[in-house]
Structure 1
């Protein structure tokens, strides 16, 4: 077992005062459940506090991590879950010890945040000039404190290479599954997702969860039209066609669609096509031109443009980064 732990990629999860217990447990549950073909753990996940002592959670009970500051020195990935303090950082200044830890890890290890853990990363300077996300409820405060960060409040997570951020709460699951896909391929991530009874890839961003008034109108909504669109992404889909299928005018359909999803129909379709393209790149060997047609982009150039805008990678670069390594 000691040899297996040595082979596994080491992950240190920071347990800070008033940590959100649910998010503290996500890396161990998701990353810790990733196994190779021989059943060996691919990640050695260690929960650690800055002084090795117990930490009180936001739920009113304490945890005693098995590790202290030594866990951070040789970790390949450092995870900062949300705590009650991270979203209430005064004047953009984090706990000095947390800031020092993050600055020391920057450039040496991957750094990930879950939910408002992004506040700690931003306050330590790790997100300056970089794309990031956090819980939608705190985006206005985040922008006021850290205008230098390119905040995207609509997505579930942002992968910027060695620094990754996720949106609120369960989006930490999405980010951990993404990390497994990135490190070991889609099949391993899907296996972990099945074991935890969660979707291997959730459709849509966190804008669908933002509190907004939904008009109380008679008749069906747009869910059936969206389900039909997902089955026909390889076709050119027009607003008129979607609205007609929902028995609505284009204006009414657009209003209802935005109220239900947080996005316009065109943006929603583009995002779904990008997600389909990513899944096909991860799980098939289809040539780029056929893959672009399957995802409904019309041309490889259009797919390259959309993928570049969404994730900053070309189709071939994304496929190389997210396919499982070849045996041997």
Structure 2
């Protein structure tokens, strides 16, 4: 499909800055009119996943996947749930292992390629034939995970899953990791490492002698973290192997349902390799939209109903896809 160079998104006055777009919603946005009902499901390896439902009482379901060190209560997740409910969609927002407020049971937690957990969620949600159609929506890491799932599972994909939307996606994990390692992104990188360290320490208490944080303060970027933790815990040779195997850009050509990727050109987390122009141009199903602004999972708008552009764009695309 053609790359959408002329996006409909226009940043509000004074918000034409990628860092401000990224930070403002996290700090200032409040979305309070969504009430989740929690369900815990169990994985084949005897771990658990916590799912948060917000139902509109319809036969359409949207499954939402959050970003790195996020959860179902992040403003971008709750905002998306709200607008989907308003348009007649049930919403299942799921928390990755160790992201729901309770540490998970197994040594492994989550990563950019944990499609087995997403598949577990999808199967649980669609098992009783309550829903006639479904859509997958992901943000950042969750967008990468969603796209990888759609491409790698294309031949086995439940026929009711008919569309997908992904925002702020690091389609090339190596390029994204290098971008976040730059000095301009020091504060973001530092915050991620601090948050991840807390989970490593929880694992140390849970499994004494199995994992250690000795020398953690010398880790400066995802190369250091993924080499030491993500790769060995999840069966990858090293960070480079993990990044290669789990970069969603490799799987875009296999996607067989209408899919919209929205990556802002001023996203501070994304490098050139994260804008899959060639893959979109050569695909019948993948649309790539590149707004000039929007930051990382921002896309701020000050609408009377509290919605952001990304949420309205999702509703528009889902309507067109069906």
- TM interval, short-chain normalised: 0.3 to 0.5
TM-score (norm 2): 0.33
Larger radius of gyration: 1
Of Structure 1 and Structure 2, which has the larger fraction of its residues in helix?
1
TM-score (norm 1): 0.33
Q: Which has the higher contact order (CA 8 A, sep 6+)?
A: 2
